[in-house]
Amino acid sequence: MTLLEIKNLSKIYHGKNGAKVQALSDVSLDIAAGEVVGVVGESGCGKSTLGRSLLRLIEPSGGQVLFEGQDIVPLKKSALKPMRRDLQIIFQDPFGSLNPRHKVGKVIGEPLEVHGIGTKQQRQEKVRELLDLVGLPQNAIDRHPHEFSGGQRQRIAIARALALDPKLIVADEAVSALDVSIQSQIINLIAKLQKQLNISILFISHDLSVIRHVSDRIAIMYLGRIVEMGETEEVMQNPQHPYTQSLLSAIPRVGEKRARTVLAGEVPDPANPPSGCAFHTRCPKVMDVCKQTRPELKAQTQGAVACHLFPQ
């Protein structure tokens, strides 16, 4: 069953001196109940913009976000509030997103308070359950976030996100700032809770090996667009789009020979994107048509690909 359906979502940021940045163009994506969809791409490709605009933490410039069939883009703030219970987000830097003056009990219980759920005692009870759930000690309740390590703070952020029993969580680089040994603890925790509570997750990361580990399906983004989408293992084992192929070969893996072909150049400035296929300035397989015409994301025998090498 489709829980969330994103249709042609776009976001234009208006910078100073009238500069326009098209951070997100025509992104369509759906997430089934209990599904984990990974979004991967290099810095600035629009991952966070996607995560935030689908929650309306920033206002999309166009498109629809259907949550359980209802478009939340045109909703007024007041109509949006009940929706917020179902849609939560976890950020990369838990320090930045947790109020340093509040005790952990308050930080985790705050969403319950805001939504007027339960009595004070019931909320306390729920907070205690949540602490257990994410593997924090009960005495954390009376301590401050800064007394905790990065991994533990991420547990606090996860407990807070779970307080309202959401149906969908956007995890934006939720494990990216953590050390390897802590990262695997948090990945395990997220995966366990996801299964136990049957939550859908939009898992955003620049790290393909993390994305591969947790996601049922993945979307690869380049300069504000999805360029390839499909079942995780299919894409990883048989990447179709030239960008996905380059991205995969650039990841240094333990025990593997390094890639001989290194992608030249860098991601172009999104304020001034290349014509046609935005990847054409770096693509090893570029053709004339690529410079003029933008390829659409089209379903293929495997997943969907936006590239002129495939039937358009």
Partner 1 sequence: MTQSPLLTIDDLWIDVGSRPVIEGVSLSIKPGEMLGLVGESGCGKSVTALSIMRLLAEPPMHIRQGAIHYDGQDILAMSNLELEQLRGNQIAMIFQEPMTSLNPVFTIGDQIAEVVLLHKTSDRAKAARRAVELLDRVGIPAPEKAAQKFPHEMSGGQRQRAMIAIALACDPQLLIADEPTTALDVTVQAQILELIEDLRGEMGMAVLLITHDLGVVSQYCGRVAVMYGGRVVEEAPADELFTNPRHRYTEALLRTIPAANPPGVELPAIPGTVPPPGARPNGCAFHPRCSFCLDICTEEMPELTGDDHHRLRCWNAA
Ligand X SMILES: Nc1ncnc2c1ncn2[C@@H]1O[C@H](COP(=O)(O)OP(=O)(O)OP(=O)(O)O)[C@@H](O)[C@H]1O
Residue 220 CA to residue 70 CA, distance in Å, equals 26
Is 225 a binder of ligand SF4 (CB under 6 A)? no
Is 224 a binder of ligand SF4 (CB under 6 A)? no
Among 146, 285, 288, 298, which residue interacts with ligand SF4 (rule: CB under 6 A)?
285
Residue 105: name its binding partner from ligand X, partner 1, Mg ion, none (Cβ under 5 to 8 Å by kind). none
Among 295, 297, 303, 304, which residue interacts with ligand SF4 (rule: CB under 6 A)?
295
Q: Which residues pair with 169 in a beta bridge?
A: 88, 201
Which stretch, 41-49, 99-107, 236-244, 304-312, contacts ligand X (CB under 6 A)?
41-49
At closest approach, how far in Å is the CB of 204 from ligand X? 7
CB atoms within 10 A of CB 294: 17
Residue 48: name its binding partner from ligand SF4, partner 1, Mg ion, none (Cβ under 5 to 8 Å by kind). Mg ion
Among 157, 247, 304, 306, which residue interacts with partner 1 (rule: CB under 8 A)?
247
Specify the residue, 217 or 282, whose C-beta has the smaller distance to ligand SF4. 282
Is 32 a binder of partner 1 (CB under 8 A)? no
Among 23, 65, 199, 305, which residue interacts with ligand X (rule: CB under 6 A)?
23
Residue 280: name its binding partner from partner 1, ligand X, ligand SF4, none (Cβ under 5 to 8 Å by kind). ligand SF4
Query: Contact positions toward ligand SF4, by CB under 6 A?
Result: 241-242, 277, 279-280, 283, 285-287, 290, 295, 307-309
Query: Contact positions toward ligand X, by CB under 6 A?
Result: 13, 15, 21, 23, 41, 43-49, 206, 270
